[in-house]
Amino acid sequence: MQFNIKVQNDFKNNIRREWALTNGLGGYAGGSVTGAINRTHQGYLIASLHAPVQRYVCFSKTNEKIVTDSHTYDLSSDQFKGGCHTDGIQYIRDFTYDGTICFTYEAGDITIKKHIALAQGKNLAAVAYEVQNKGEASKLLITPLMNFREHSESSTVDSLKFEVQKQEHGFTLIPKAQDDHCIRIVFSGGELIERDDKYICDLEAQTEVDNEVPGLDCAFCPYDVSVDIPAGASMHFSIMCDIVPLEACNDNSGTAFAKHLVSDNESAFEILRAQLDYTDELIKRSGFTDDFAVKLTVAANQFIAHRQSTGYDTVLAGLPWFTDWGRDTMISYTGLTLCTGRFEKAHDILLTFAKYCKDGLIPNMFPDSGLEPLYNTVDASLWYFYAVYKYLEYVATPDAYEFIKKDIYPCLKDIISTYKKGTDFSIYMDTDGLIHAGSGLDQVTWMDVRVGDWVATPRHGKPVEINALWYNALCTMDMLQAKFGDNDDSYRQLASLVKASFNKRFWNENTGCLYDVVDGDDDTIRPNQIYAVSLPFTMLDREREKAIVDTVMDKLYIGCGLRSLDPDHKDYHPIYIGSLSKRDHAYHQGTAWGFLLGGFISAYVKVNGRTKATALCADKLLDPVREHLLNNCIGSICEIFDGDAPHTGRGCYAQAWSVGEVLRCYCEDVLPMLPQAHS
C-alpha cells in the first residue's frame, strides 16, 4: 500500500495536502506535503500522556540545510505570520505515504530521503535519513524544533521554558509547565552546536488563519546537529524523540535510550521497518487485495487506540482533535473492525459499552479517568443494536452467540425496556410506539450544534433516523430472543406498531420523501431519512424507498458525502469556513458529511438491485472518494465537505465514521459483485 505524490513547487495549494500517523495510544504526528505545519494540531510527536487523551505537542518538526563550500541549500518549509514562507518545497521531488512518511529532497549533488515514523504503543517518534552524495564533501545541518503545549493551544516564548540538559548524543528537556515529564531527543552521530537564537516564532498555520484565529506558534531550538557528508558517500542518520515520566530521565534508561541508537545507527530505521511490517499485517488480516479496500483498511487503523481508564481499545472519532464518542464508534464499528478482520477489537468495544450502559443509555463520550461518562445521546444506544447485529453477521460462531447472550443481551434488554418507559433527555416511547427525544437546549441526535442558548438544528420530537433505528433494534431483539429460546413475541408485536405508525406519520406526499422530524413536524429535506432504507430491517415499501434514494441523490449527494440540508432551503450554507460562529451555522445546514455516504450507497444498491450493473454504478459514485484520498489528508477521508463545489474537505482531516462507512458499504455492497474491479 503506497501513495506516491510528485510535489509541485506550489506552496499555496500543497499546504492543504496533509498527512497523519498514529501510535495506538491517541498520540499522533501530522504535517503537510510541503514539509510545513498547516494546523495547530500538527507535529512529529503529539504524545498522549493518559491514553488516549492529554495530548501534547512535544516535537514540532525538523528543518534541514545542506552546506557546501559554494552554496547553502535551505530545505525548510515554514509559513510565517502574514503568509510568507521559506522555499524548501522547491527541493522536494516526491512525497510517499505507506504507513510511514518519506520526503525525497534533491539539492545540488545530494539526494536525501527523510523518513518519519511513530512506534506503536509508545510516545516515540523516529526520523531516519538516507543520504546519497554524488559531489563534494558537505554538511547536513538539522534543527529540531521542540515544543510542549496542549495540542489545541499555541506556544509563546514566555510559555515555552525548559530545563535543558545536554547529553553525549542529544539533550533532554524538562518543561517548566509540567515538570513531572521530560522530553528526550537523541542522534546517531554528528556534532551538537548550541544556537544563539533559541526560538523560532510567528510560525503560522494556514488552516487556523482560514478559521479566523491567529494560528501562530513558537518552537524552542536549543541546538543544531551538524553531520558530515563525505564526498561520494551514502550514509544513514537517525533521530529519536520520546516523552517519559521524569523518573525515567533520572535513571539509566535515558542513557540506554541513547546508547541503543548510537551503537547500531539503526534504531530509527528499526522503527520504520516495524511500522511497515505492522501495516502489511493489517492488510494481510483484512484479506483484501483490492487497492481501494486496502487503502481504507490502513486508514481505519488510525482510529483504534487504547483507553487507559477502561483497559480496552476504543475508537477515536477523528484526527486530530476528537476523542472517543459512542455514536461515532457504533456507526464506524463495522468498517473499522469487522470488515478489516479485527474481531477481537470488535468484541472488546461491544463489551466496554455494555459495562458502561446506564439508565438505558450507552456513553456518548468517555472523559478522563475518574469522571463519569456523558450520556447525552439518543441514537448511540440504538446504533449499538446495529453493531451487535453486524458482529453476529461477521462472526457467526457459537462462541460469538454465547458472548452476546452472556455479556451483551442483558444490556440490550435494558435499553429497550428503558426507552419504552422513558429515560433522560426526554427520551421515551409514545403511545404510537415511536420514540420521542430532546427538549429545551438538549441536542441528542448527531445534529447537535449548540452555542450557549442557541440551538442550530432543534430536532425535538420524533426524528426520522431515530425511529428507523428503533424499529431495527426491535427486529434485532426479536431475532436474538428466538435464537436464545426466550419465546418472547413482544418485540415483534411492538415492531409491527412502529412500522404502521412510521408509515402513517413520516411519509410526506408533498415532497415525495420523509419528514425529518414529526411531532414538531419538519419537512426539511435532510439525509437522515436514508437510514429508513439502508438498515438491515426497514419499514417502507420499495416504491417509497426508491423515491427517497432518488431525492437524496438529486438534492444531497456531492461525491464524497451527503449535504446536511437541501441547497434550495433558505438556511442553506454553502461553505464551512471562517470563525467558529460561522462554521457552527454551516455545520448541519448544508455542509456535506462523509459518513452518510455509507448508508446512501447501501440504500442505492438495495433499491436498484444487487446486480453487477448496479454495483458498477455504485462504484462510480465512490470515484470522488478515491480522488480525495490523494488530496486533503493523504490516504484518509475528511469529516466534512463544503456543500458547494469544489466541495473542499473540512473539519477533522481524517474521520472514523467517514472511513468506516465508506469501507463498509464498499466491501458489503460493491466489491462482492466486482471481484476484479480494482486490483
Give the span between the Cα atoms of 197 and 77, in whole angstroms.
Answer: 19
Give per-residue pLDDT as tens, 196-242. Answer: 999 999 999 999 998 888 899 999 999 999 999 999 999 999 999 99
Q: Is residue 39 part of a domain?
A: yes
Kind and range of the H or E element at 319?
Answer: strand 318-319
Helices (DSSP H) in 326-408: which residue ranges? 326-333, 343-355, 380-394, 398-403
Give the span between the Cα atoms of 677 and 679, in whole angstroms.
Answer: 6
For residues 390, 391, 395, 397, the Cα torsion angle rounded to the nearest 10 degrees is -110
**Is 75 in contact with 64 (CB distance < 8 Å)?**
yes
Mean pLDDT of 101-117: 97
pLDDT at 579: 84
Nearest Cα to 121, choosing from 305, 260, 367? 305
**Is 602 in contact with 554 (CB distance < 8 Å)?**
no
Q: Is residue 581 part of a domain?
A: yes
What 3-state class would DSSP assign to 600? helix
Radius of gyration of the chain from its Cα atoms, rounded to whole angstroms: 26
pLDDT tier, 664 (very low <50, low <70, confident <90, very high otherwise): very high
Q: Is residue 127 part of a domain?
A: yes
pLDDT at 251: 54
Indicate whether 676 pLDDT > 70.
no
Give strand ranges (E) for 119-248. 124-133, 138-150, 162-167, 170-175, 181-187, 191-194, 199-204, 216-220, 223-229, 234-245
* Alpha carbon distances (Å) from 6 to 279, 487, 583, 625: 23, 63, 33, 20
pLDDT tier, 675 (very low <50, low <70, confident <90, very high otherwise): low
pLDDT at 363: 94
**Is 359 in contact with 414 (CB distance < 8 Å)?**
no
Nearest Cα to 125, choosing from 21, 227, 219? 21
pLDDT at 248: 80
How many domains, the chain? Answer: 2
Expressed as residue numbers, the domain containing 202 is 3-249+265-278
Q: Is residue 331 part of a domain?
A: no
Q: Is residue 52 part of a domain?
A: yes
pLDDT at 370: 56
Burial 384-402 (b: 16+ CB within 10 A, else e): bbbbbbbbbebbeeeebbe
Separation of first and last alpha carbons in the chain: 12
CATH number for the domain that contains residue 37: 2.70.98.40
Span of 81-90, 104-113, 143-152 with lowest mean pLDDT: 81-90
pLDDT at 608: 98
Give per-residue pLDDT as tens, 599-629. Answer: 999 999 999 999 999 999 999 999 999 999 9
pLDDT at 679: 42
Kind and range of the H or E element at 261?
Answer: helix 253-264
pLDDT tier, 261 (very low <50, low <70, confident <90, very high otherwise): low
What 3-state class would DSSP assign to 144? strand
Paired strand residues for 191: 226
What is the CA angle 78-83-87, rounded to 5? Answer: 40
Give the span between the Cα atoms of 423 and 362, in whole angstroms.
Answer: 12
Kindly list the strands in the beta sheet with 110-118, ordered across the sheet, starting from the edge strand earlier in the chain: 3-6, 92-97, 101-107, 110-118, 124-133, 234-245, 181-187, 170-175, 162-167
pLDDT at 453: 81
What 3-state class would DSSP assign to 178? coil
Nearest Cα to 243, choosing from 156, 312, 180? 180
Give the span between the Cα atoms of 122 and 469, in whole angstroms.
Answer: 39
Q: Tell the residue number behind the cell numbers 465508506, with chain if given.
A: 662
Residue at 531: amino acid letter: Y
Q: Is residue 63 part of a domain?
A: yes
pLDDT at 267: 85
Mean pLDDT of 48-75: 95
**Is 653 in contact with 634 (CB distance < 8 Å)?**
no
Kind and range of the H or E element at 284?
Answer: helix 267-286
pLDDT at 621: 98
Give the span between the Cα atoms of 544 and 538, in whole angstroms.
Answer: 11
Q: Which three cell numbers stand for residue 247?
A: 523518573
Give the span between the Cα atoms of 392 and 400, in whole angstroms.
Answer: 7
Q: Tell the residue number behind the cell numbers 539509566, with chain if given.
A: 252
Q: Is residue 139 part of a domain?
A: yes
Nearest Cα to 298, choosing from 622, 1, 664? 1
Give per-residue pLDDT as tens, 282-336. Answer: 999 999 999 999 999 999 999 999 998 888 999 999 999 999 999 999 999 999 9
Nearest Cα to 39, choosing from 58, 17, 72, 71? 17
Q: Is residue 400 part of a domain?
A: no
Tell me: cis bond preceding 222? Omega within 30 of 0 counts. Answer: no
Residues of the chain above pLDDT 90, percent: 85
Kind and range of the H or E element at 501?
Answer: helix 490-506
For residues 466, 468, 473, 475, the Cα torsion angle rounded to the nearest 10 degrees is 160
